[in-house]
Structure 1
């Protein structure tokens, strides 16, 4: 890692080298707001950033036949963090963009935690009338901790007899004791710093090998956290409860596929996937972690200047916290809350008419 502490006017200062992968569509439009916010809040906390841009994208794939160069991972291995915009475009199958860029980064850099905080913001019209803002008593404020490196998203399997009447597709889920243990430990430890409750997603009544194994390992890891309450919920019932009573959840820990689905469901419950952030974390910081909004490349609005930058901005806030500056990360989230609460400068997905630049300026004003 390249973090270099220096002495500045406000005491110890830090410099970080960030790899920027804007990607496709609105990813290119939301990364500049995120870096502008990083620079603004960094000035308040003695933190500076150097940015290296990489053109890895579906456009690159169409032109050169690969999402990134053969030595791409080595080019970003020494960065302190990675900030990604979005990946995906017409004409390039989603499994290509995922398996040639995102998954290699996540697995090569042991980013085994996918962190997805979900909250209701005052001023965001959501689908649930009873869902209260997360910064109020009884409000919706939860985190989905998704296992990010194994589980259902394995490469084990194949297709046989292609094009024949007997064609067969086989996909194996791979769960290891080490993988389940470390994601469970992360979730329980996180709960000790929140409201002290973990819900483990399972389907052990129908998936007879991997899910009972998941349950057993999670239960064994829970013993190390006696101050944390926890329960196991079958994924179908859990999905219903996230909709019916989202404020009852604190930390949800789930396998790769279940966490993927649950986190998008929870973001929709909060009112807009355009706000939702994520972090692909290597908690030990042996490798760079990657931060990205979850809204996708949105080809239908790309280039129109109307994309919501808050998901990317909040992801940058998560990055600050991960790098050791939680107060700076909290300021970013507070600026988002204040901006949305005012209702004066909102993008279309939030019920307003503002463009990307206008909403970004409104956030920056609250950080000045």
Structure 2
């Protein structure tokens, strides 16, 4: 990595993806560049890599091997949305899931905090869903070879759910470490009353890990009760740790309570790799119209900078992340938003407003 007087330059992968991907990824690149400069950090070296429909046309696959190889030589990367439903039938893998599996990104961290000016249904929500990302009831992630779904006859479909002690332990540690730096409470979300072996193992393993964090309060809830509790009293929650499918559903519910999926940040990570990826999809109907909301990816990139700050002990990267978060909140508070949130700003105009506020103190 190139050195500067201010420290080592980051090498960041940049994957545009499909639909609105090029617009929101381009906006995010600009915001990260401006935030690093405003914080006094060295500029990033960006590594554009192909994925998605364009990659199929050029390489014959939605996820070229060169992209996976290129990501190995980065500190982390930003992933745009993909629209694999529009790919030719023989290419309909989900590239994001394939990247997560390839690099073992077992933790999906999804914070939700209501932002000013966007009419959040739950203005007191401030929580993090810590989702186990490698197994559970997702058929593409729970078998060594092939899918976890199969049909013994055309009229019968079966699905296998996988829960292991090792995966449950490592996601529990992520949740408890995170809670220790927040309000000090973890809620284990499961369904052990009807899935006593799989969900029972997950719940009990999380409780065993809790013993290593005496300063953190821990409780547990069934997933259906948690959904109701989220709607009724979302401010009661701090960190929720849960299985893959449950985490996907609950984090989308929480994001909508906090304002919109268009503001929902997400980080996929392991102990040594991290990928910023917004929760929302590719919205192909909006592609090329300069109307996409880039905030979710802005905030996901801020999460990546914070992860890199902790990993490399570089406080300047955390300061850059804080500038992004403050600029987003200040822009919304000023009544500026894209059309999906009731505003009038285009993607480009909204990006201009964010970058201007990155330099505010």
State TM-score, norm by structure 1.
Answer: 0.89
Show the counterpart of 2:349. 358
Residue aligned with 2:206, SS: helix
Residue aligned with 1:297, SS: coil
Q: Structure 1 residues 38, 300: CA separation in 2 closer, same or farther (over 3 Å shift)?
A: same
Aligned-pair distance for 1:225? 0.7
Q: Structure 1 residues 171, 85: CA separation in 2 closer, same or farther (over 3 Å shift)?
A: same
CA contact (8 A) 2:25 2:297 kept: yes
Q: Structure 1 residues 90, 84: CA separation in 2 closer, same or farther (over 3 Å shift)?
A: same
1:104 aligns with one of 94, 98, 115: 98
Aligned-pair distance for 1:349? 1.4
Q: Structure 1 residues 63, 222: CA separation in 2 closer, same or farther (over 3 Å shift)?
A: same
Show the counterpart of 2:78. 83
Q: Distance in 1 between matches of 2:165 and 2:90?
A: 27
Show the counterpart of 2:314. none
State TM-score, norm by structure 2.
Answer: 0.90
Report 1:267-286 matches (<5 A). 267-282=255-270, 284-285=271-272
Residue aligned with 2:266, SS: strand
Aligned-pair distance for 1:64? 5.1
Q: Distance in 2 between matches of 1:205 and 1:350?
A: 39
Aligned-pair distance for 1:310? 0.7
Q: Structure 1 residues 278, 158: CA separation in 2 closer, same or farther (over 3 Å shift)?
A: closer
Residue aligned with 2:261, SS: coil
Aligned-pair distance for 1:273? 0.8
Q: Structure 1 residues 158, 260: CA separation in 2 closer, same or farther (over 3 Å shift)?
A: closer
1:315 aligns with one of 253, 275, 300: 300
1:144 aligns with one of 113, 129, 138: 129
CA contact (8 A) 1:23 1:86 kept: yes
1:198 aligns with one of 178, 186, 190: 186
Show the counterpart of 2:329. 337
Show the counterpart of 1:7. 5
Show the counterpart of 2:50. 55
Aligned-pair distance for 1:95? 11
Moved over 6 A (4+): none
Q: Distance in 2 between matches of 1:269 and 1:96?
A: 35
Q: Distance in 1 between matches of 2:193 and 2:341?
A: 39
May I ask how many residue pairs the two structures share in their alignment? 345
Q: Distance in 1 between matches of 2:172 and 2:30?
A: 35
Q: Distance in 2 between matches of 1:114 and 1:349?
A: 25
CA contact (8 A) 2:12 2:46 kept: yes
Aligned-pair distance for 1:159? 2.7
In the TM superposition, what whole-angstrom CA distance separates every residue of 1:26-46 from its partner, at most 9, and x where no partner exists? 111101111111111111322
Q: Is 1:20 matched up with 2:25?
A: no
Residue aligned with 2:188, SS: strand
Q: Distance in 2 between matches of 1:95 and 1:168?
A: 24
Aligned-pair distance for 1:251? 0.5
Show the counterpart of 1:69. 64
Q: Specify every segment of 5 or more residues in structure 1 that has no aligned partner in the other structure, as ranges.
A: 133-138
More helix by share: 2
Show the counterpart of 1:135. none
Q: Distance in 1 between matches of 2:126 and 2:261?
A: 15
Q: Structure 1 residues 29, 247: CA separation in 2 closer, same or farther (over 3 Å shift)?
A: same
Q: CA-atom RMSD, angstroms?
A: 2.0
Show the counterpart of 1:346. 337
Q: Structure 1 residues 5, 249: CA separation in 2 closer, same or farther (over 3 Å shift)?
A: farther
